[in-house]
Amino acid sequence: MANNKCDICEEKIPDGTKVVCCDSCHVIMHPVEACTGLNASELRAAVIQKRTLMFFCKTCREAFRAAPALVRQIKDLKEEIEGIKRELEGVKMQKCTHGETEVDTKQIFTEFQERANKSKNFIIFNAKESQSDELSVRIEDDKKVVQEVCRLLDVQQSVNGAEVIDKVLRLGTKKEGYNRPLKVVCTDPSFVKRVVKAKRKLLESAYIR
């Protein structure tokens, strides 16, 4: 056995010991519930040499759950790229001008990039702002605000098991007695669409744009 260490607990596996092997990445682990997450009957089936039961480690299972979201994002990106290509072809075929200034290709790319970025964020207004002096505490408090908003809107914060909230940040300069808008940056535009669609469920004291 070339690698005789359990991938989970990193303890040595004695030679001759039956092991459980992931059918995707082929890492090995002790044939115990603590390392595999399998119960006794599942373990007996997993260590059989010619078995029909497929076993995947935790890392591979999480990757499989995230795969549909990644495929969807890749598809969206491809569609955006094709749209940009069509726009650029139009610029090449018809020399567009604004007054005496020729349209800048870089400006077109910048505009598309801004549109793509805006599709992945939303802003919460009138949400109470943390007064803590610690940045980490303020960020955690703002995340709780987002969680509460999602709860009120009845919108899940994950897509296919993957977390979609990338970061939260307050906009503008902090002033006493003023709650700055809270910008929520996400990884999935479809999540933002669901939030905006459900925004009417919020109380009038807090609204999303």
Q: How many Å apart are CA 99 and CA 102, to the nearest integer?
A: 8
Residue 42's DSSP bridge partners are none
pTM above 0.75, yes or no: no
The helix (run of H) or strand (run of E) holding residue 167 is strand 165-170
Sign of CA dihedral 84, 87, 91, 92: positive
pLDDT at 101: 47
pLDDT at 207: 43
Residues of the chain with pLDDT under 70: 1-3, 49, 90-117, 200-209
Q: What are phi and psi of 101, to 5 degrees?
A: -100, 120
Count of CA atoms in the C-beta half-sphere (13 A) of 12 = 3
Instruction: Quick: pLDDT tens for 119-153.
Output: 788 888 888 888 888 888 889 999 998 888 888 88
